[in-house]
């Protein structure tokens, strides 16, 4: 069925942004459903080892809230991702806020604005997800993705990242 | 512990989030330096430089030895490894998510084939 292995591409066009793109071999309407219907979403959204997704509530209207929560073996919520829909244009565009909380760590650990765009391409669907960070802590996470280039080449490459950010 | 590791990562990222501290790390990447040598290119006072070095120290990125008035600083790249590792894991999570999404989409397609429109 899958003609080409679909490659996830991750880029960081600015210090505050992460852009992920991926091609899917499916009609756009199906991708939209899989991303907005709780019973489909919980089948593919990650569950960290030993945790279970225990809440997947979504109100897919503009101004509607969604809440995803994961619990540990004792049933205690350990991770909550929630937010409000700013734009909902089925089956092509969705903008929502995203706040991540880990109760064991205290308050919210990051906040961002996510834009999901689906376009018809090569008889399938092209997904573009743009994450824009606005809090300081969240920006630190963006900094981490800036280091992605450093993975293979180690510190020499990290040096380059430091150079770029020190240069004025 | 996941939480402890997160706190360590938070400290590392917070430490990296300032251009002066990144400049210090870059300088320390090539050689050990004393505090005045770190402060000079940044046109910083000794106390201001010490404040930044302490932030780097708390993040585990810099080790400091004090001999009288001389503070010798050395880079410890360990937490950077962890930061890079975290980024790779984040990418792996999304790759795995999207592979599962491929499967869900394939099922939707086969359901549709099984139940053709009347």
Most confident of A95-99, A108-112, A153-157, B91-95: A95-99
In this predicted model, which residue has the larger pLDDT, A76 or A102? A76
Q: What is the pLDDT of residue A7?
A: 82
Q: What are phi and psi of A98, to 5 degrees?
A: -140, 115
pLDDT at A50 over 70: yes
Res A160: pLDDT: 36
Indicate which of A44, A72, A108 best probes the interface with B, i.e. most B CBs within 10 Å of its own CB: A44
Q: Answer positive or negative: Cα dihedral of A136, A138, A144, A146.
A: negative
Chain B: give the shortest CA distance to residue A61, in Å.
23
The strand pairing partners of A131, in sequence order, are A18, A114
**Per-residue pLDDT tens for A59-87?**
999 999 999 998 988 999 988 889 999 99
* CB within 8 Å: A165 and B97: no
Question: What pLDDT, on the 0 to 100 scale, is given for residue A19?
Answer: 86
Measured CA to CA, the distance from residue A25 to residue B75 in angstroms comes to 47
Chain A CB contacts of B26 below 8 Å: 159, 162-163, 166
Mean pLDDT across B101-105: 95
Is the CB of B23 inside 8 Å of chain A's CB atoms? yes
Q: What is chain B's mean pLDDT, rounded?
A: 85
- Please tell me the least confidently modeled range out of A18-27, A96-105, B99-108: A96-105
For residue B36, pLDDT over 50 is answered with: yes
Whether pTM > 0.90 for this model: the answer is no
Q: Is the pLDDT of residue B85 over 90?
A: no
Residue A122 predicted with pLDDT over 80:
yes
pLDDT band, residue A155 (cuts 50/70/90):
very low
Q: How confident is the model at residue A4 (pLDDT cuts 50, 70, 90)?
A: very low
CB contact under 8 Å between A10 and B93, yes or no, is no
Q: Residue B96 and residue A130: Cα distance in Å, rounded?
A: 18
pLDDT 10s digits, A132-149: 876 545 555 544 443 333
Cβ within 8 Å, pair B13-A143: yes
């Amino acid at each position: 069925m899958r003609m080409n292995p679909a490659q996830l591409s991750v880029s960081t066009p600015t210090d505050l942004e992460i852009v992920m793109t991926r091609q899917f071999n499916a009609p756009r309407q199906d991708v939209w459903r899989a991303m907005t219907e709780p019973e489909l979403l919980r089948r593919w959204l990650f569950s960290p080892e030993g945790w279970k997704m225990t809440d997947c509530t979504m109100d897919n209207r503009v101004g509607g809230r969604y809440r995803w929560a994961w619990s540990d073996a004792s049933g205690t919520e350990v991770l909550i991702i929630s937010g409000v829909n700013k734009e909902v244009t089925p089956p092509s565009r969705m903008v929502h806020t995203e706040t991540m909380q880990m109760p064991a760590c205290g308050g919210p650990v990051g906040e961002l604005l996510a834009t999901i765009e689906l376009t018809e391409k090569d008889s399938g669907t092209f997904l573009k997800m743009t994450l824009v960070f606005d809090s300081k802590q969240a920006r630190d996470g963006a900094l981490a993705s800036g280091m992605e280039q450093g993975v293979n080449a180690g510190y020499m490459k990290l040096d380059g990242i430091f150079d770029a950010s020190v240069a004025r | 512990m996941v939480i402890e590791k997160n706190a360590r990562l938070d400290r590392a990222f917070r430490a990296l989030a300032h251009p002066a501290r990144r400049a210090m790390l870059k300088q320390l990447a090539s050689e050990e330096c004393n505090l005045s040598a770190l402060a000079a290119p940044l046109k910083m006072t000794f106390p201001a430089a010490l404040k930044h070095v302490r932030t780097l120290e708390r993040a585990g990125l810099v080790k400091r030895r004090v001999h009288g008035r001389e503070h010798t600083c050395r880079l410890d790249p360990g937490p950077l490894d962890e930061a890079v590792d975290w980024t790779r894991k984040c990418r792996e999570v999304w790759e795995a998510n999207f592979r599962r999404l491929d499967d869900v989409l394939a099922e939707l397609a086969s359901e549709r084939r099984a139940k053709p429109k009347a």
